[in-house]
Amino acid sequence: MSDINNNIKEKQYKKWTTLLSVIIPLAVALLFKVKINGYDFSFLPPIYAAINGITAILLILAVISIKNKKIELHKNLINTSIVLSVLFLLLYIAYHITSDSTKFGGEGATAYVYYFILITHIVLSIVVIPFVLITYSRAKLGKFAMHKKIAKYTFPLWLYVAITGVIVYLMISPYYEI
C-alpha cells in the first residue's frame, strides 16, 4: 500500500513539476506585455532584492545544517527559501506589470558585466525551477539518495540566482526613476 501511495505521489509531483516549470516562465514572459496603470510599486525592487539576499543566506545555512545532520533545521530553511522565492516572484511580477522596465545606464566594461550577470541570472532562474521542484519532491518522497544527487546541482544554481538577483539590483538601482 505504501509503495502504491508513493508511486501516486511521485506521479503527482512529476506532473506539478512539469506544469510549474513551463507555466511560471511563460506567465512571467507574458506578464511583461501587461501594464496596469494607477499603482505605484516603485518601492518593490529593494524589497525583492533583499528577499534574494535572505534566500542566499538561508540556502547556505541549509547546506551547513544538513552537513551537521540537523535535518529539521535543514527542512525549515529550505521551506522558508521556497516561500521567499515565491514571494519574490509575486513582488517581481507586481512591479513589472505596473512599472516600465528600467534601462541600465552604465557603459563600457560595466555594461558587459551587467548584461552577462543579468542574462545568466534570467536563464538560470528558469533552469532552476525544475531543479528545485525535483529536489524538493525527492526529499518529500523519502528518496534521499536521489535527493542528494540532484541537490548538489540545485544548490549552486539556486544560490547563483539568488546572489545575482542582488547584484543586478545593486547595479541597476542608480538608474531607477525616483
Q: 47-88: per-residue pLDDT in tens?
A: 999 999 999 999 999 999 999 999 999 999 999 999 999 999
Q: Higher model confidence: residue 65 or residue 102?
A: 65
Is 95:48 a contact under the CB 8 Å cutoff?
yes
C-alpha atoms less than 13 angstroms from C-alpha of 178 in its C-beta half-sphere: 4
| Residue 79 and residue 61 in contact, taking contact as beta carbons nearer than 8 Å | no
Cα 132 to chain centroid distance, Å, stands at: 9
Torsion 23-26-32-37 (CA) sign: negative
Decide yes or no: CATH 1.10.150 for domain 2-175: no
Lowest mean pLDDT among 78-82, 99-103, 135-139, 162-166: 99-103
Average pLDDT value over all residues in the chain: 94
Closest listed residue to residue 169, CA positions, set 82, 71, 34, 50: 50
Rounded distance, CA 4 to CA 51, Å? 39
What crossing angle do the helices spanning 2-31 and 108-140 adopt, rounded to 10°? 160
pTM of the model: 0.91
In the block, cell 515565491 appears at 86
d(CA 22, CA 17): 9
pLDDT 10s digits, 119-128: 999 999 999 9
- Joined together, the cell numbers standing for residue 2 give 505504501
Q: Is the pLDDT of residue 1 over 50?
A: no
- Calculate the CA dihedral of residues 142, 143, 144, 146 and round it to 10 degrees: -160
